[in-house]
């Protein structure tokens, strides 16, 4: 999929609700729940890039392999891709 950058909270949450991650490592049936569990309820930035055959967007495979969601200084990240074990990471930036 093409790189995606969003800055509208509603659009970000709607997009995250359509992302499902399967395969090895970090998985999720609905990424919006994982992001909210990480303490991000009103995101102000989303960047999604790369391609992963086990990542699905709206039921279609080959969604993004790398996803970053930010709210203020808190960042939720997912990294994966072909041949890699998907990981997630939560950080507070300075």
60: CB partners within 8 A, 6+ apart: none
The predicted structure's pLDDT at residue 1 = 84
pLDDT value for 82: 86
For tokens 């939560």, the residue is: 90
Give the closest residue to 45 by CA, choosing from 76, 5, 79, 16: 5
Cα(79)–Cα(52) distance, integer angstroms: 10
Instruction: Quote the CA–CA distance of 46 and 49 in Å, as a whole number.
Output: 10
Separation between Cα atoms, residue 6 and residue 48, nearest integer Å: 9
Q: What is the mean pLDDT of each run of 10 residues along the chain (94 residues)?
A: 96 98 95 96 97 96 97 96 92 87
């Amino acid at each position: 999929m093409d790189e995606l950058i969003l800055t509208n909270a509603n659009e970000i949450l709607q997009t995250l609700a359509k992302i499902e991650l399967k395969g090895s490592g970090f998985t999720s049936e609905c990424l919006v729940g994982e992001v909210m569990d990480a303490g991000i309820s009103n995101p102000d930035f989303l960047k999604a890039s790369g391609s992963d055959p086990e990542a699905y967007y709206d039921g279609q495979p080959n969604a993004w392999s790398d996803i970053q969601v930010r709210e203020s200084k808190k960042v939720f990240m997912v990294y994966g891709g072909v041949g890699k074990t998907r990981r997630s990471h939560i950080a507070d930036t300075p």
